[in-house]
Amino acid sequence: MNTHSGVVARPDTAPPVAELPIAEQLFDQLPDAVYLIDPESSRILWGNRAAWASLGLTREEVLDHSVLSLQMDVVGAPQWADIAAVIRANPSYTFIGRHRHRDGHEVAVEVVTTCFELAGREYFLSVARDVTRRIALDAGVRDRASQLALALNEAVDGLWDWEIATSKVYFSPPLKRMLGYGPDEMPPVLATWKDNIHPEDAPLVERILYDHLEGRLGRYEVEYRLRNRNGHYLWVHDRGKVCERDADGNPVRVVGMVQDISDRKTLELQLFELASHDVLTGLPNRRTGEEFIDTQLALAMRAELPFALCFCDLDHFKTINDVHGHLMGDRVLRRAAQVIAAEVRKCDLAFRWGGEEFVIACPGMRVDRMQALTTRIRRALSAVAWDDEFGIEPITVSIGVAASPEHGTTRTELIASADAALYLAKERGRDRVVLASPVEHRRAG
């Protein structure tokens, strides 16, 4: 290979075979691909003939790639950094993955990598063997049961087999690849899986698994987030079933499959976000807010707890649209929404009712504390440098407050009470908070 001061030089063109050093001529006779790799960037510094020909590339084109661009099962610099650390710590490191061919298809490979130094510089040397045919024609597959087992083991995203008594778990190669690990990694114990479940999802996963083991569910099936090697979480669909029990009927062995559903889940969450949130402000929309009020108000009524809400209306907002245009009006609405959302508790919900109106629903909040909240909102809005940020006059807000049970016991009654109080706030000069009248008083009037 061409070197200068220990650094591999990229040839502008491939020299004739007769001019190649004897070592390179020998490497070019190998059926396996050989890559020289920069450990820090994962860039390919040199490759033999099989390295580029097996991928449908030229000798020069393979040098434009890196492990991250060729290896489909190594995603992102953090994962590469973790793998590089393992390579440095071991005499050799084996990784089963898929190379990306120029025409788009996958090439199944077994890659063995070693670390060495040359002229004071560190390199990785990887030998990649195409195992596509070996997987398809495994010499150990002799009967139909073995064929089925091999097909399941290789075809699905992840296969696991749990021996309950020993807590040993077999993780299939595709499952390890899915999580960014090599075939010799991931200790075959239950904790390897359990410790990587997202903390928010772990109680649900454990309950469903336990219910299945106890016979209360016909099978174990759940969607949750599972941490990969990078520390990122994948959404997975995990399902399994007890396949062996002892003489007393106790579960002995459970097998199952894990499917990566991150793309579908991301789309679902995006669609849910669009359906449940206001596109302009990013706050929950009116439908979501009404559902929240119905649910939380019913809980408050059963537990005899307070519940309050308020209507907020930006004063003179029509003037902003008329004088500065609707794009400016949209900017003001987004800024106002940020200010309002920043003042509410985590258990509260601020949502856009429509136009320049917002509603804040507060479970468990008494009227006196609601008055304190509305005071903070008015102060926060007045503290915004509207002239400096937007070139407009300061924004004020009129607010109507209603609480259960004195101002209503249903969503319709509370909204009507708060809306009536908001109307009074506008009528009395705006930039103020008005508490609704009791239901009985309004009916008598």
Phi, psi of 192 (to 5 degrees): -60, -40
Q: Please report, in tens digits, the pLDDT of each residue of the chain (445 residues total).
A: 444 333 444 444 444 444 557 777 888 889 999 999 999 999 999 999 999 999 999 988 988 899 988 888 887 888 888 889 889 988 889 888 889 898 888 888 999 999 999 889 999 999 999 987 776 655 454 555 555 555 555 555 788 999 999 999 999 888 888 898 887 788 999 999 999 999 999 999 999 999 999 988 888 999 999 999 888 899 999 999 999 988 888 999 999 999 999 888 888 877 777 788 898 999 999 999 999 999 999 999 999 999 999 999 999 999 999 999 999 999 999 999 999 999 999 999 999 999 999 999 999 999 889 989 999 999 999 999 998 889 999 999 999 999 999 999 999 999 999 999 999 999 999 999 999 988 654 444 4
Nearest-angstrom CA–CA distance, 365 and 377 = 16
Range of the domain at 13: 3-135
Beta bridge partners of residue 220, listed in sequence order: 240
Nearest to 251 by CA among 285, 228, 220, 292: 220
Q: 39 and 84 share a domain? A: yes
Give the pair of three-digit tokens for residue 64.
Answer: 């434009």
Query: Do 289 and 336 belong to one domain?
Result: yes
| 147 in the same domain as 66 | no
Pairwise CA distance, residues 423 & 357, whole Å: 12
Same domain, 397 and 284: yes
CA distance 208 to 213: 9
In a domain, 391, yes or no: yes
Do residue 333 and residue 302 come from a single domain?
yes
Stated pTM of the model: 0.48
* Residue 260 and residue 285 in one domain: no
Indicate whether 353 and 411 sit together in one domain: yes
Question: 328 and 377 in contact (C-beta within 8 Å)?
Answer: no
Domain membership of residue 285 (yes or no) is yes
Label the pairing between strands 349-354 and 357-363: antiparallel
Domain count, the chain: 3
Instruction: For residues 293 and 419, state if they share a domain.
Output: yes
User: Does residue 144 form part of some domain?
Assistant: yes
- In three-state secondary structure terms, 34 is strand
